[in-house]
Amino acid sequence: MTDVKTYLREWAMPHVLCPGCAHGIVLRSFLNAVDQLQIDQDKLAMVAGIGCSSRLVGYVDFCTLHGTHGRAPAFATGLKLARPDLKVVVVTGDGDALAIGGNHLIHAARRNIDITVLLLNNSIYGMTGGQAAPTTPEGALASTTPAGNTEPNFDACKLLMGAGASFVARVLAANPMDMTKVMADGLDHPGFSFIEVISDCPEYFGRYNKVGGGAEMLTWMSVRDEGVAGPLAEKRFVNHIPIESVPSGMETGVLQREIRPVYAGVRKVEDHES
Amino acid sequence: MSEGSQGLLLAGVGGQGVILASMIVADALMRAGHDVKQSEVHGMAQRGGSVFSHIRWGERVDSPLVPLGSAEVLAAFEWAEAVRWVEYVRDGGAVVADVRTIVPPGACNDHRSWLRRYPGIDGELFDSRHLKTRLIDATATAEELGNVRAANSVILGTVAAFIDIDNKHWEAAIAHLVPKGTEEINLAAFRIGRDVAEARVPQTAPDPEGFSGPHQIEINHVWCKGCDICSRVCPEYCLAVDVDGKLTIIDAEACTGCKLCEALCPDFAIEISAPREPAVVGNQAAADGSTL
Amino acid sequence: MSQAQLIQGNEACVKGALAAGCRFYGGYPITPSSEIAEQMVRLLPDLGGVFIQMEDEIASLASVIGASLAGSKAMTATSGPGFSLMQEHIGYAAMTEVPCVVVNVMRGGPSTGLPTSPSQGDVMQARWGTHGDHPAIVLAPSSVAEVFDVTVKAFNLAERFRTPVIILYDEIIGHTRESVVLPDSIEVVDRVQPTDAPADFWPMIAPDDGVPPLPAFGDGYRFHVTGLAHDERGFPTNDAQVAEALVARLHNKIDAHLDEVIEVDTYMVDDAEIAVFAYGIVGRSAREAVMRARDNGIKAGLIRPVTLWPFPYEQVAEVAAQVDTILVAEMNLGQIIGEVERAAAGKAEIKGYLRADGEPITPTALLEAITPDKEGQR
C-alpha cells in the first residue's frame, strides 16, 4: 500500500478546514480507495463546486477543477464526455449538491454519466458561517434558523435513487474502512455512482446544536446509523453525547446497485435511419 | 463423556474464516466415518473479535464442547488466540499457531504495560506441558501462493498431521467447501502446511525476545490542528492534546498499531509505522516435543 | 474555390465552428439559437465530437468548460435569458482562462421579452454581465458569410488568449438564408502547450505575452484550476498583490494585442460629414442608407465594428475627428452609444437612432435620419 500522502499536494498543506472537521478523514479514505484500485494519478480528475468539501480538491495531486457553486456535475459531464479515458470524481457538499446544484446532480444521475459523486453531508453551510441547508434536520439550529429549522430535510440517497442513479451508497465519516470499501466499489461501478458521506461540522452544527467537537460528532453520527454498524458505533469512546438530540436513524451501506447502459453520447443520424 | 472421542479447537479473529475452516475439519472427519459435533462462536462475532469453534469426533459424540485440557489439537489462526485457548489442549497435545498478530481496536483497553497487553510470541510458553508446537507464518505462505485467503488451509495442513484420518478425506473436504475457483490454491496451501509438520521443514520461529515493541507514532505538528479526535479514539490512551492545543504522545510504549488515530485524523497529521524491529525473526528447525 | 451555398446564419456559425476545430457542443434549447444545436448534433458525431443537451444554460457552459479543460475546442449557443444564466461561467472561464466560445443570438428583452424578434439588447451584458473586472472579447457579425468568419476568429482568439469569446448576432442574421461562398482553407489557432516537464509545471506562469500554456487534463500534467484568486501555482490566495497581478494580467494579455482582436469595417468615411455607427444587422441597413445618401449628395459614411469589445476607441476617435456628426444606430435604448461618446470625446456630435420594439432598423429610416431637414437639421 502506498502512503496516501503521495496523493497529496503536500506543499499546499495544511488544509483550510476547521479542527475536527471530518472532511479530511473522508479524503484520506478516498485516497486509500484510489490506491487500492491503483488508479493512474494522471488519469484521475476531481471536480468540485463551492463550499468546505469542495476545497478538498485543492490538496490532491490529480487534475483538479474547483468550479462554481453547485455546478460540479455539469463540469464533470463535459470533462468525462470529452475525455472518456479519465476517471472523474465530483466532490460536493450538501448545500452545493442539493440546493443550488440539485438540478445538475439529478440529471447527471439520470443520464448515468460514468462519474463518481462524493457528497459530504455536514447538515449545514459551513463556509458561509452555519446557515441552514436542505439537509439540516427539522428542529436543528443554524444561523438562519435561530429558533430551530422548520423545513423538512432531503434524504440525498432517496433523491438520487429516484433520479435513477445506478449506484447509491451512504457511509459515515466515523467508519474510515467502510468508507474506503464503498468508495472503491463506487469508483469501480460502471455508470453514475453516488456516495453520501455523513460528515460533520463541529464549528457550526456541533456548536449551535451542542453536539460538541469532532470526536463527539463522529460518535453522534455513529449512533444515527441503523445499518452497518461500524467499530466506532460500539466503542462509545466519547461520553456525554446528548442522545436525545440524535435525529432518526439512516440506513448506511450500498443502497442501490444496478447495471444499466452508461451514457455514451448521442446516436448518429445514419445509425437511426439505417 | 462420549466414547473414544477426541477434541479439536479452532480459534482466530473475526473475518479470518475460522468458521469455514472448522466446517472443513468437520467434513473431513465425517468423510472418515466419525461421528462429529461442531460448535461455533459463543459470544460476539464482530470483525476483529475473538472467534472460536469446538469440534469433537469419535464413534459417538454427545456434546460438541471440548473440555478444558482435553483437546488433541489447538489450531490458532492468530497468535493471541493461541495463548488465549492453549489451556484447552491436553498435555502432550499439539498447538498449531499462525504467528501473525491482529490487534483489534479497543481489544486491550484494560492493560497498561506492553507485555501484558499483547502476548509475546514465545514458544516456551507451551514448554512445560510438552506440547507439540508448530508456529507458522501462514499468511506469508499464502501470499507467496498468490491468495492471502488460503492461509487457513496452510494451518489445516499442519493440523491434519496430528489427526489420524486419511489425507484424501482432507483434500475432498477442502475441494468441497472452499469458494469455487480457489480449490487448487487451497489444496496447494494445505500440502505446504502438511509438509511443515511431517517433513519438518524449517519453520518461522518466534523472536526469543518476544514481541519487539510498540508501533512508532509520528505527529506532523504543522498540519495538526489539535482537534482532539485522535486522543479520544486511541484505545491505549497514547495521545493527548495539552493545554496549548498541541498534540503530544503521553504513552509511546502503549501503541498497538491499530491506526485508528491515523485513519480518523482529518489533517493527515499522524503516521503509525510498524515496530522498528520485525516481530518475527529467523527460521529454526523444530521437532516434536522440542521447546523451540 | 468552394461553391456558393444557401445557408442560414446559425448554420454558418456551425460550419465556422467545425472548421475551426470545435469538437464539443453543450447547449440548451432557446429560440432563436436552437438551429445551432440541431445542426451540431447531426455533424459532430461523425467528426468524433461530442454533443450534449444539458439541463440548463448554466450547465451548458459548465460542460463546455469541462470539455475545454479536457483539450476539446468547445462552444455553446443561446439567447438573451439563457445568456443571463451563463454569466456565472463566463466569469469563471475568464478567471480560469479556459478557452470557449459562447454564441448569443439576441432577441427582444428584458426577460422572456420578444423571443422571435431581433434585438441588440445584450451588448452591455456581454461586456459587464458577469461580476468583477475581467476582459471580454465580443464579436458582432452582420451577414451570414461574416458569421462563418467571425466564428472561426472567435475560436482562434479563445485559444490564442485562453479566454471566453462571445459572438453576438441577432434573430435576423441567425435565421436569414444567404448565398455564401465559404473559404477553402482557414487559419486555425491552437492553445499553446507547456514545454516544461510535468514535475516543473506551474500552470499560471505566463510568458511575455501574458498567456500561460494549457495542457489538457489527462495528458500527464496535474494541476489545479480554480475561480478563486490564485497564484502562479494555480492555488488559491488572499494575497492582495498576487490577486492584483492576476487581474492585471488577464486584462493585459488582451489589451497588449488589440491589433489581433479589433476589427472595424469603415465605408466612405474619408470625406464624410456624418458617419453612421452601426453593428450587426443594423450595419447592413446603415451601409444601404449611406449609399443612398451619397446618391442624394449627402457626404455620409459608415463605421461598423466587428469587434464590439474591446471597444475600438482609437478607430472611433479617428472618425470622430473627421466628421461633424456620428449617428449611432442600435436596436436597444442606447447601450454602445455611451462608448462612442467616450471615444469621440466631444470632437463630433453624437446622435442616436435607437429602437427596442422588436422591429429592425430599416435603411429608409436611417436615410431619413441622416438627411438634413429644410433648416439643415438632422
Listed by start position, the domains of chain C span: 4-181, 264-370
Q: A264 in a domain, yes or no?
A: no
Distance CA B244, CA B249 (A): 14
Residue B208: band (very low, low, confident or very high) from pLDDT cuts 50, 70, 90: very low
**Dihedral angle, C-alpha A10, A11, A12, A14, nearest 10 °:** 60
How confident is residue B48, by pLDDT bands cut at 50, 70 and 90?
Answer: low
Whether B and C touch, i.e. at least 3 CB pairs below 8 A, reads as no
Please, what's the b/e burial string for C287-326 (b: 16 or more CB within 10 A of its CB; e: otherwise)? bbbbbbbeeeebbbbbbbbbbbbbbbbebbbbbbeebebb
**Residue B207 clears pLDDT 50, i.e. is over it:** no
Strands (E) across chain C are located at 4-8, 22-27, 50-53, 73-78, 100-108, 114-118, 137-139, 164-170, 177-181, 224-226, 264-267, 274-277, 300-305, 307-309, 325-330, 349-354
Residue A218 at interface with chain B, using a CB cutoff of 8 Å: yes
What's residue A241's pLDDT?
38
Answer whether A23 sits within 8 Å of B269, measured CB to CB: no
Chain B residues close to A18, C-beta within 8 Å: 225
Binned at pLDDT 50, 70 and 90, residue B234 comes out as: confident
Interface pTM, i.e. ipTM: 0.96
* C-alpha cell belonging to residue C58: 448554466
Domain residues for A25? Answer: 18-258
Chain A CB contacts of B235 below 8 Å: 235, 237
Residue partners of C378: CB distance under 8 A and separation at least 6: C274, C325, C327, C351, C369, C370, C371, C372
pLDDT at A274: 66
Phi and psi (nearest 5°) for C24? -145, 130
Q: List CB contacts (< 8 A) between B229 and chain A.
A: 20, 214-215, 218
Pick the CATH number of C4-181 from 3.40.47.10, 3.20.20.140, 3.40.140.10, 3.40.50.970: 3.40.50.970
Residues of A near C (CB-CB distance < 8 A)? 9, 11-12, 41-43, 45, 47, 57-58, 61-68, 71, 73-83, 85-86, 103-104, 107, 265-269
> Which residue of B46, B266, B268 is in closest CB contact with A21?
B266
Which of C39, C46, C52 has the most A C-beta neighbours within 10 Å, making it the best mutation to test the interface with A?
C52
* Chain A positions in Cβ-Cβ contact with residue B223 (cut-off 8 Å): 13-14
CA distance A247 to chain B (A): 22
Q: Judge whether A11 lies within some domain.
A: no
Residue A59, min C-alpha distance to chain C (Å):
9
Could you tell me if A18 lies within 8 Å of chain B, comparing CB atoms? yes
Chain C neighbors of A57, CB-CB under 8 A: 224
Q: Provide the pLDDT for residue B211.
A: 46
CA distance A64 to A270: 37
The mean pLDDT values, 10 residues at a time, for chain C of 378 residues are 89 98 98 96 97 98 98 98 98 98 96 92 97 96 98 98 98 95 96 96 96 98 98 95 97 98 97 97 97 97 98 98 97 98 98 95 96 83
Q: How many CB atoms lie within 10 A of CB C204?
A: 19
| Residues of chain C positioned with their CB less than 8 A from the CB of A66 | 224-228, 236
Domain B6-209+280-284 has CATH 3.40.920.10: yes
Q: Which residues contact B287 (CB under 8 A, 6 or more apart)?
A: B200
| CB contact (8 A) between residue A24 and residue B266 | yes
Looking at chain B, the whole-number percentage of residues with pLDDT higher than 90 is 34
Are the Cβ atoms of A29 and B263 closer than 8 angstroms?
Answer: yes
The CATH T-level fold of domain B216-273 is: Alpha-Beta Plaits (3.30.70)
Whether the bond into B266 is cis, omega within 30 of 0 = no
**Does the structure show a pLDDT above 50 at B283?**
no
CB contact under 8 A, A66 and C227: yes
Answer for the pair C88, C58: CB distance below 8 angstroms, yes or no: yes
What is the grid cell recorded at A56?
478538498
Residue B44 neighbours by CB under 8 Å, 6+ apart? none
Flag residues of chain A having pLDDT under 50.
226-248
Chains meeting C at 3+ CB pairs closer than 8 A? A
Number of domains observed in the structure of chain A? 1
**CB-based contact C16:C8 (threshold 8 Å):** no
**pLDDT tens string C209-249:** 999 999 999 999 999 999 999 999 999 999 999 999 999 99
Q: Do domains C4-181 and C264-370 have the same CATH topology?
A: yes
Average pLDDT over residues B31-39: 90
Contact B73, B162 (CB under 8 A): yes
What is the torsional sign of CA B246, B252, B254, B260? positive
pLDDT at B255 over 60: yes
pLDDT at B52 over 60: yes
Nearest CA-CA partner of B6 in B21, B27, B26: B26
Cα–Cα distance measured from residue C221 to residue A64, given in angstroms and rounded to the nearest whole number: 11
In a domain? residue A274: no
Looking at residue B258, its pLDDT comes to 82
Segments making up each domain of chain B, as ranges: 6-209+280-284, 216-273
Angle between helix C281-295 and helix C363-370 axes, rounded to 10 deg: 50
Could you tell me which chain C residue has the CA closest to the CA of A113?
C52
Please tell me which residue of chain A has the smallest CA distance to B265: A25
Q: What is the percent of chain B with per-residue pLDDT over 70, rounded to a whole number?
A: 75
Chain A residues touching C67 at Cβ < 8 A: 78-79, 81-83
Average pLDDT of chain C is 96
**C115 touches C169 (CB < 8 A):** no
Whether residue B60 has pLDDT greater than 80: yes
Q: What is the CATH number of the domain that holds A40?
A: 3.40.50.970
Distance (Å, rounded) from C-alpha B95 to C-alpha B197? 11
C264-370, CATH topology level: Rossmann fold (3.40.50)
